[in-house]
Structure 1
C-alpha cells in the first residue's frame, strides 16, 4: 500500500489510500439524532399547520374571542414551525455532505454510510423523509427489517455487517457511533498495517461489570451466563471498531445462530470468542481524548 505524506491535524489529514484498500471501508453511525428529531417534528406537522391556519382564520374574521388555551396552542404551533424550518436547514446541509462522501469514495476508495432502521410506525413521515433524502444523497443504508430503537442496536449492528459484506467487497468493515469524530486517513493507515491478517478484530479492547439489576441503565438480561464474577469478556468498545472481511462473512453466513446481548459491542465480541481470531487492542481506537495520530475523539 502506498501513502502520501501530509498534515495529520484534526481538521485535515493528507494521507491517502493505495490500491490494496481501494475496495471499500464502511462506517456505521449507530444513531441519527437529528433525523430522529426531524421525524418526531414532521409526524404531526400537518395537524399543527392546520390548527394554526384555523386559529388565524378565526382571529382574522373577527369571530369569538380566542381562549387562553387556543392562544397557547397558536404559540406552541408557531414555535414548532420554527423548529421545523431549522431542521429543514440541517437536512439541506446533510445533502451537501453527501457530495463530499461521494468524492471520498472516488478519490480514496472509502465508503461511508449512515445506517438506520425503520420507524415503529412503518411508512410514517419519518420513513418517507429518510427515503426522500436517500434518493438525493445515496448516503444511507436503510435496514427495512429493523426497527430503529435503542434496545435494537445489537441486532442493527449484525444486520449492518450482513448488508455491508453482501453489498461491497471490502478489506475491512468499521462501525462508528455518530457522536465520534473520525480521522478517516489515520483510520485507513492503521488498518492497512493489518492487511496480512485474515481474521482481525481491531478496537479499544475493554471489559466491564455485568449488571443484573433490571432497573440499572446497563442491565444485562443474560447476566447469569457471564459467571459469578459478573464481568464481560474482552471486547472492542462500541465507539469504533473494525473487522476484516472474513469475520464479516462469518457473521453473514451464521446470522441465524449468532445471538445478541444487551449491548452491541458485547454482542459483536461474543461472536468471535470461540474463533481463531486475532484481537488487536489498538490504543488509537480509544476515543476519550484527541492526540496526534489518533483515529477518533468522542464529541
Structure 2
C-alpha cells in the first residue's frame, strides 16, 4: 500500500504530463484553424481570379495563366490608387492648395527649356589650336558669347576630338588644358585620334550629341570652315517640317581604287561601276535631323564606315526613307591662297 506522500508525488507527475499534452492540443487546434483559414482564403482568391478573368476575357474559363492574372489585378489596383490620388489632387486644387507661384515657375522653366535648333560638331585634331581660335573669333564665340549663341539662337557649337594613342601624353594634356579655359569641347574618351579613324569620329559625334542634346538638327563641320550662323539658322528653319532630312552640298564623286592615290578607297569595288560613289553630302559640312541622329546612336555598333566620313554618312541613309536636300549654300564657294574655305551661307 502506497503512502500519502507517494500518492501526492504520482498526482503531481500526472498533472505535469498533462500540461505538454494540453499545449500540443491547443497548438494543433490553432494550426488547424490557421490552415483552414488560409485554404478558405486561397479558395476565395481563386474565385475572385476566375471572376476577373471572366470579365476580362468574356469566356467561361481562364484564357491566361494565374501569374498573368495576378499581374492584371495588380495593374488594376495601381490604376485605382492613381485614380484616387488624382481625385484627391483635384479636390486639393478646388480648396486652393495649389500654389500659383509654382505653376508660373514651371511654365517659365518649360519655355526656357525650348529644344535647341542645331548642335554643331566641329571635328578637329591635335595641333590645330590656331584653327580653333580663328573659329572662336569668327563665328563661334567664347564664354558669354557662346552661351548667348545657345540661349538666343538655339545653336550649340562644340569642337570634337578623341584621345591620343598614348593616353595622357602631351597631346591629351594640351586639349584638357584648352578645354579648361574654353569649355567648348566634346572629348570622345573611347576614340583614338588617327587619320583613318576620322569617319568613326563623325559617327561617334552624332551618337554622342543625340544622346546628350534633344535638338532639331545635328551638323558636322570641319575645323577650317567658317559658318554664317544667322544664315544657317534661317536655312534650317525652312526644314523643320521634315523629320527625316539630310542636308548638304550633294555630290557623287570619283572612287579612287589605286592605293597610292590621296583619296584611296579600300572598298572601291563595292560602288556601282567602281568609279563613282552614290549621292552624298560633301564633307565640309552636312546636317541631319534628329531622327537620323537617333538612328546613328542606336545602330552605332553595326554601321559601316568607309575611307571618308561624308561617304560613310551617306551610306547610312541609302536604305532609309530620307529626304536628301541639295543645299547650294552648304557648298564651299570660295578658296583663296592661304585662307580657309567658307560656306556661302548668305541670307
Name the TM-score, length of structure 1 as normaliser: 0.69
Give the aligned partner of residue 294 of structure 1: 344
Q: Is the 8 A contact 2:116 2:150 kept in 1?
A: no
1:289 deviates by: 3.0
Maintained 8 Å contact 2:306/2:312 = yes
Cross-structure match for 1:29: 122
**Is 1:251 matched with 2:296?**
yes
* Inter-partner Cα distance in structure 2 for 1:138 and 1:238: 25
CA contact (8 A) 1:21 1:192 kept: no
Matches within 5 A, 1:83-232: 97-99=141-143, 100-232=145-277
- The structure where strand makes up a greater share of residues is 1
Residue aligning to 2:315: 270
Post-superposition offset of 1:181? 0.9
1:21 deviation in Å?
7.6
Computing the radius of gyration from Cα coordinates, the structure with the larger value is 2
Q: Distance in 2 between matches of 1:30 and 1:137?
A: 16
**Deviation >4 Å, runs of 4+:** 18-22
SS of alignment partner, residue 278 of structure 2? strand
C-alpha contact 1:207 1:232 (8 A) present in aligned 2: yes
| 2:127 aligned counterpart, secondary structure | helix
| Aligned residue pair count | 223
SS in 2 for 1:143: strand
Give the whole-Å Cα distance in 2 for the aligned partners of 1:109 and 1:101.
11
**Structure 2 portions without partners, runs of 5+:** 1-110, 336-342
Per-residue CA shift, 1:20-44, capped at 9, x if unaligned? Answer: 9852422122224xx5167xxxxxx
Q: Give, in angstroms, the shift of residue 224 of structure 1.
A: 0.6
The answer to whether the 8 A contact 1:26-1:164 is kept is yes
Q: CA RMSD in A?
A: 2.6
Mapped partners of 2:259, 2:113: distance in 1 = 47
- Using the size of structure 2 for normalisation, the TM-score is 0.60
- Say whether the 8 Å CA contact 2:207–2:293 is kept in structure 1: yes
Higher relative contact order (CA 8 A, sep 6+): 1
More helix as a share of residues: 2
Structure 1: stretches of 5+ with no match in the other structure:
1-17, 39-86
Q: Is the 8 A contact 2:219 2:286 kept in 1?
A: yes
Determine helix, strand or coil for the equivalent of 2:158: strand
Q: Residue 222 of structure 2 contacts residue 285 of structure 2 at CA under 8 Å; is this kept in 1?
A: yes
**In 2, are the aligned partners of 1:176 and 1:241 still within 8 Å (CA)?**
yes
Q: Give secondary structure in 1 for the equivalent of 2:333.
A: coil
